[in-house]
């Protein structure tokens, strides 16, 4: 077993039991842990085209070994790229040349496995201490998504905001926040004029 195969097995064992939100959270965590990329490398020369998000991959050869630095403007894309980069990072040309069709198939299954739900959803409901509250959930099937809904592709699944909720969350940025007592999505909503400490309720 080569080092590349060992890394594929490692990431596979970490991801195979994760579904839904847990899988998203784990991939986002990898984006957080990825080594930073200097802004000077975020240029067209290193950008991967064809991706909905901006993705940059910077390769570097040192003493016959490949080193990769990746970055993206989307956490899911960056996390996925970071996992793939870790598989090849520091490997020699000879080790890379020994990759088998089975290894490639395993990587494809590892990175394209779909969650048990069709999409993560974010809605807005009346209530909460500030007047409105965010409502996280899952959508089981694509036919449950309306044509008027806002849909984004997160790479490992879809993210959906219904058309009515978009009136209250347009322009919102969603980040992943890790704290001592737990982790959660952090929402920065430019439409909110008031909020509460829990971060789940807001006013307009």
**Cα 69 versus chain centre, distance:** 17
What tokens were used for 148?
């008027």
Helix (H) or strand (E) holding 33: helix 20-33
pLDDT at 176: 63
Domain boundary residue, one of 69, 96, 112: 112
Residue 135 host element (H or E): strand 132-139
pLDDT score of 51: 65
pTM (two decimals): 0.59
What CA–CA distance (Å, rounded) separates 161 from 170? 10
Closest CA to 56 of 68, 67, 70, 66: 70
Whether residue 91 sits in one domain with residue 144: no
Q: How many Å apart are CA 58 and CA 36, to the nearest integer?
A: 11
Domain containing residue 99: 3-112
Task: Report the domain count for the chain.
Answer: 2
Report the CATH number that the domain containing residue 143 is assigned in CATH: 2.60.300.12
pLDDT at 70: 95
3-state DSSP assignment of residue 68? strand
Residues 42, 134, single domain; the answer is no
- In this structure, the answer to whether residues 133 and 174 fall within a common structural domain is yes
For residue 195, the SS3 value is strand
Vertex 184, ends 183 and 187: CA angle to 5°? 145
Co-location of 10 and 108 in the same domain? yes
102 and 16 assigned to the same domain: yes
Contacts 24+ apart (CB under 8 A), 98-107: 98/2, 98/4, 99/2, 99/4, 103/4, 103/5, 103/8, 106/8, 106/12, 107/8
In terms of domains, do 97 and 127 share one? no
Q: How far is CA 141 from CA 59, 81, 117, 158, 164, in A?
A: 39, 27, 7, 11, 20
* pLDDT of 62: 93
Whether 88 and 182 map to the same domain: the answer is no
45: domain CATH number is 3.90.1010.10
Regarding whether 34 and 107 lie in a shared domain, the answer is yes
Do residues 98 and 136 share a domain?
no
Q: Do 178 and 101 lie in a common domain?
A: no
pLDDT in tens, the chain (204 residues): 788 989 988 888 888 777 766 777 788 888 888 888 999 999 999 998 876 678 999 999 999 999 999 999 877 788 889 999 999 999 999 999 988 888 888 877 766 655 566 788 888 888 767 688 888 888 888 888 899 999 987 665 688 999 999 988 888 887 766 554 445 667 888 888 877 665 567 777
- CA dist 118 and 128 (Å) reads 28
Beta bridge partners of 125: 133
What pLDDT is attached to residue 108? Answer: 75
Q: Do residue 135 and residue 150 come from a single domain? A: yes
Residue 81 shares a structural domain with residue 169: no
- Rounded Cα distance between 27 and 114, Å, is 13
Which of the listed residues 112, 146, 167 is the one where a domain comes to its end? Answer: 112
> Domain boundary residue among 51, 80, 112?
112
């Amino acid at each position: 077993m080569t080092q590349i195969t060992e890394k594929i097995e490692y990431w596979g064992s970490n991801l195979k039991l994760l579904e839904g939100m847990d899988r998203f959270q784990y991939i986002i965590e990898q984006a957080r842990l990825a080594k930073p990329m200097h802004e000077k490398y975020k240029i067209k020369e290193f950008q991967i085209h064809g991706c909905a998000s901006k993705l940059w991959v910077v390769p570097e050869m040192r003493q016959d070994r490949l080193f990769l630095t990746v970055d993206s403007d989307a956490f899911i894309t960056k996390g996925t790229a970071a996992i793939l980069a870790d598989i090849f990072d520091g490997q020699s040309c000879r080790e890379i040349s020994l990759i088998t069709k089975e290894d490639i198939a395993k990587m494809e299954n590892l990175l394209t496995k779909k969650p048990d739900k069709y999409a993560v959803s974010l809605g807005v409901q009346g209530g909460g201490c500030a007047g409105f509250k965010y409502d996280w959930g899952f959508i089981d099937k694509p036919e449950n998504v309306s044509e008027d809904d806002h849909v984004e592709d997160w790479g490992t699944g879809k993210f959906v905001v219904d058309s009515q909720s978009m009136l209250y969350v347009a322009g919102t940025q969603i980040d992943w926040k890790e704290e001592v007592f737990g982790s959660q999505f952090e929402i920065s909503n430019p439409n909110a004029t008031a909020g509460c400490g829990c971060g789940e309720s807001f006013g307009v």
